[in-house]
Amino acid sequence: MSSHHEWAAEVTARHDAQKPYAPENGQPLRFKAGDPVIYTNPAGIEFPLRVTGFYQRPASPCGQYANGARYLLDWDCPWFPVPESRLRLDESRAVPELDAAAAIR
């Protein structure tokens, strides 16, 4: 491989053949916009953030998307997507969902 473009084309082709990530594999995304999450960077440092949106598949081959990056976060680089494997729900900041029956009472 001699260029980034060739690498992106290769990992995109592998992604398309194997469909290893949600939602292409038929599984739902684990987090929704607004969810509080803990992002763990490659060095193991954790950051409390919030999901702001989702990275949509670009028209041209994209190594980030092909490697599972689907989530956009509220941090200093909001355009940079991260994979689900780097996130976990921040239960200390999660808003409990109301029970429908309890809401009627």
Question: Residue 86: pLDDT band by 50, 70, 90 thresholds?
Answer: very high
Own/partner pairs, 24-28, CB within 8 angstroms, 24+ separation? none
- As given in the structure block, the two tokens for residue 83 are 């994979």
Residue 2: per-residue pLDDT: 72
Domains of the chain, first to last? 4-93 (2.30.30)
User: What's the rounded mean pLDDT across residues 75-91?
Assistant: 95
Residue 104: per-residue pLDDT: 57
Sheet holding 46-54, edge to edge: 82-83, 69-73, 46-54, 36-40, 87-89
Tokens 């494997």 found at: 85
User: Mean pLDDT, the chain, as a whole number?
Assistant: 90
Its sign, for the CA torsion 50, 56, 60, 64, is positive
- pLDDT tens-digit readout, 22-65: 998 999 999 999 999 999 999 999 999 999 999 999 999 999 99
